[in-house]
Structure 1
Amino acid sequence: MDRMRADRLLSLLLLLQNRGRMTAPELAAELEVSVRTVYRDVEALSASGVPVYADRGPAGGFRLLDGYRTRLTGLTGDEADSLFLAGMPGPAAELGLAADLTTAQLKLRAALPAELGERSRRIQERFHLDAPGWFRDAEPVPHLAAAAEAVWERRVLRVHYRRWRGEVRRELCPLGLVLKGGIWYLVARVEDSVRSYRVSRILDAELLAEVFERPAGFDLAAHWEESSRRLESARFQGEAELLLSERGVKLLPMQFGAVGEEAVAAAGPPDDRGRRRVVLPVESLPVAVHDMLRLGTDAEVLGPPELRSAVARAVAELARRYGAPNGTPGGPPGHDTPGGAWRTVHEPRDTP
């Protein structure tokens, strides 16, 4: 019997032990096989001495003899590793551990006393972690499995990588993988420094036979926290003084996260038109201009002068680009009347 079928038979056995009576279609859906395969597997379990019984009728299905419990609950290395991703089935699948995770969870539940096993099942039914942000497609990471293998086996990884300034080829000593906001990063040693690489930007990866030594005492979590702090401190190069409408005050935290929240918390009192002055940390001038345009007419840049001038130039260019020949606002044919082909979309109250 090959390993794949042996794993499937064990999964079938543990499903019946953990959940009780299950129909052939239910088992087929869980195991991702055909109903015919389920029947063959049940026969194989019975032939091996496992007391599997079939109940006939509309409420029928397969079940184990009352009181029977298997002791085959030892975890393999891959299954034990996969438990650390138990709350993240998507990332587990990206790492190639989806099947190991499912089998490990079944084994773990089978080893628990009945009351704790039922409690773990309810928790899994009622709590779910969805790490990525809204309105963003998951990044393709075709070389994630190779990166993970390099991390596990301490093997050098030769990559073709796309940077902002162009493409490079490097040999990396992978030290760990980090999932941040739904984006995978590879932390690796390059010569005498440790850097982070966005896995989706790896254009090609080759796992070499060469093995490297991990730096003594390297702490992945501590390194990531420290490098994140350095990135945040280097990110902002100045401050923008803004005059925000009431709506702009609400938009700022939504657009800029914690930085926007802190700016609103330190904002001055509203004027007679409900507008408030805030000071917002900003990045380079081109990035800051783009950020200011995101706020639209709900924000006026008061300073610094170079940012206000740059925003004014960008707005003038937009007005020129979208203006009609007679200087009045215009647009493509079919959209020159109020409403036109556009419809008003009301933001739902309880959904993102």
Structure 2
Amino acid sequence: MRSDRLLATLLLLQTHGRLPAPELARRLEVSTRTVARDVEALSSAGVPVYVERGRRGGVVLMPGFRTDVSGLTDDEMRALLALTDGEQGGSLGRAVASAVRKLLAAVPEARRGGIARARRTVVVEQQGWHRAGQRTDDDAALTELERVVAADERIRIRYRPASGDPGWRTVDPYGLVSKAGTWYLIAAARGTPRMFRVSRVEEVAATGTPARRPDERDLEQVWIELRDRLEQAPEAVTVRVRVDPGRRAMVERVVTAQLVGPPEQDDQPDVVRLPFRAAGAAVGALLGFGVVLEVLGPPEVRALMAERAADVVALYG
């Protein structure tokens, strides 16, 4: 959007004072003609920016000019903070992030406490899980979660897990994380940091009591631990399962929380391929079905099923 580009131009000039038009064009990923039009638009809006000709010329911002940010709303500040905290794509990234930080430094002292709190409770990460992009969710609960998280309150959420019925949980939030456009609530549940997908939060209820987290770590530290634990999980495995077609839907519904992708039909009509996140997860999910289904492969998963089944027989036999 042009308004975003004009802001980026102003921030770059505020940081550097003077930049050659080709350099501005490179950083903004536009043509020099577009840069000239943007400079004209900024000048018409009252920004003291102009073009100097010659070998040492370029686009110049009058020395001493600073954008007045005292009128920024809290939502606008949160957006700027998200911009500085995330990994920015393109060649513009680091320069804009640095400029935004300097812009925020001009916020009046009385409002800096709220800014510091916002920095601790929001993380934006553009890279998708396992380097794959994800769709953006329509998160109805996000606005209310932002409010109670900023207030540092213990909250109750009605949460719908990937499998099973929704239920109420009392949690102590660290903050909110946007991962490739998908929002997560990071909170301690019964003293253990956990990740809750915001699109599965059906209701939010504030308790009016302060959050009581199990440790002094901030949001970013806890998020990195949870993220790395998930991304370093054992390698996924696709398991071939023979199951009565009439019971296939039930089996798929029960094991869906352990899958990393959709089930696929095998060449044989009564065989389905299930992509589990790990061999152990496959055995744990399938063993309870007993003789309703048969694991055909891979061999290591079939052998592990037999081993676990023998352990059960030994325990109860």
TM-score range, shorter chain: 0.3 to 0.5
After TM superposition, the score normalised by the length of structure 1 is 0.41
Q: Which has the higher relative contact order, 1 or 2, with Cα contacts under 8 A spaced 6 or more apart?
A: 2
Which has the higher Rg, Structure 1 or Structure 2?
1
After TM superposition, the score normalised by the length of structure 2 is 0.44
